[in-house]
Amino acid sequence: MENVQTEKIKVGSRWVEVDLAAIQHNYREIRQKIKPEVKILGVVKADAYGHGAIAISRVLEEQGVEMLGVTTPEEGRALRQAGITAPILVFGAFLPEEATSFVDFDLTATVASYEAIQWLREAAEKSNRIIKVHLKVETGMGRFGFWPQEVVAAAQKIKQTPGLFLEGVYSHLATAMWRNKKYCYRQFGIFQETCEELERAGINGLLKHMANSAAVLELPEMQLDMVRVGTLLYGQAPAPYMEKNLKLKDSWDLKAKVIYIRKLPTGQTAGYGRTFKASKPVLIAILPVGFVDGIQVEPLLKPANLLDVVKGMAKLVLRYFGCQKLSPLVQFPGGTGRIIGKVGMQLTMVDVSAVQGIKVGMVACIPARRTAIRADIPKVYRAADGAWQNGNRGEEEKTEKRKEERGKRKEEGWCSSWVTDQEF
């Protein structure tokens, strides 16, 4: 994303810049990639991958998204309280005390156990409302869901349960980002067979969905009735080799201002564990962000093959001998720096010896794992017209206005997609 003059926007010493125009562009690219009749579920879990779930949900609603997806009832509640009216599917399993949230905030539940059916039934009966549910099928992800041989009986149980409406059935691909799609096709085959068994049992018209972002790019036959996209919406490809499949725009940057500058003499060590040692005089800048902000936080992955093992070992050896070329780059208006030493909890050291005009207050763009970013970091949003706004202040004003509108509609007996028993 382009450099932004943020001095006039009061955001403090570190913030996230989110380009809503890029989100709109990416959504339209995805829409063109899929079949016209296929619906889109926009995944906004984990604060919309660090972008701000409320702001992103509003953009997606404006673009016509058919459904939103979150992991927990709490995430869904926050969207409803902000005035979001699109259907919201909660992916995760839930506790019995959370069942009332599906009624109170008009959320669609994922059902993966008979206990969940009972909890939802009790919540629906108390409120005299209908709760929509999607049945989760375990096809190979290994987390939760009904085994294929249990699905028909579970679906029949839901259909017979007062207060519940079986709207959809879905499963989750485990390896869609891999080049080898053998396991994906195995999962898809199991899911298709399960759906056919449901139809033979007289359970028809369910919303079927299995494709994630990677499948949207490479497995068009798995689009079914709806696709679930998250990574693509935010301008990233699920795997490096997929980057040319779609013309995406990056939508997110972490920025911070330099808060301190100092010179390190030759031989001086720096940081916890003294992992950095200056081989020559070095100028360093301190940034007020750290690993709690997603800096150098990466998942520990199992190597996919022997070549990955060799690459990983080579990197460890080079780091042991102080090779700085492996350190993440930090962009400044006057040039590029590199992170040195161990990243602290809230502070990061950067070698800025090659950066022209470095000074306290200069803005840096720092690489970070966006899904690990703290939700309370201020966000600055760029609208389609190019205007930037402090997201925290703007969101508060919009949320209050939409809460008032939603409250009026609720008093009149209307709320999003709430339905009565007579409608089914």
Q: Which residues are catalytic?
A: 45, 272
Strand partners, 286: 260, 349
Contact at 8 Å (CB) between 23 and 212? no
Q: For 164, phi and psi rounded to 5 degrees?
A: -115, 140
Two structure tokens written together for 261: 């500058």
Contact at 8 Å (CB) between 84 and 53? no
How many residues are recorded in the chain?
A: 424
- How many Cα atoms sit within 13 Å of 283 on the Cβ side? 13
Q: How many CB atoms lie within 10 A of CB 354?
A: 13
Strand partners, 219: none
Residue 363: name the closest of 371, 372, 352, 374 by CA.
352
Q: What is the DSSP string of 156-216?
A: HHHHHSTTEEEEEEE---SSTTSS--HHHHHHHHHHHHHHHHHHHTT----EEE---HHHH
Whole-number Å distance between alpha carbons of 218 and 193:
21
Two structure tokens written together for 59: 């953009």
Instruction: Enumerate residues 6+ apart whose C-beta is below 8 A from 167.
Output: 108, 132, 133, 134, 206, 207
Q: How many CB atoms lie within 10 A of CB 256?
A: 26
Task: Give, for 226, the enclosing helix (H) or strand (E).
Answer: strand 226-229
Q: For 132, phi and psi rounded to 5 degrees?
A: -80, 140
CA 320 to chain centre: 34
54-64 burial string, b = 16+ CB within 10 Å, else e? bbbbbbbeebe
Contact at 8 Å (CB) between 15 and 6? yes
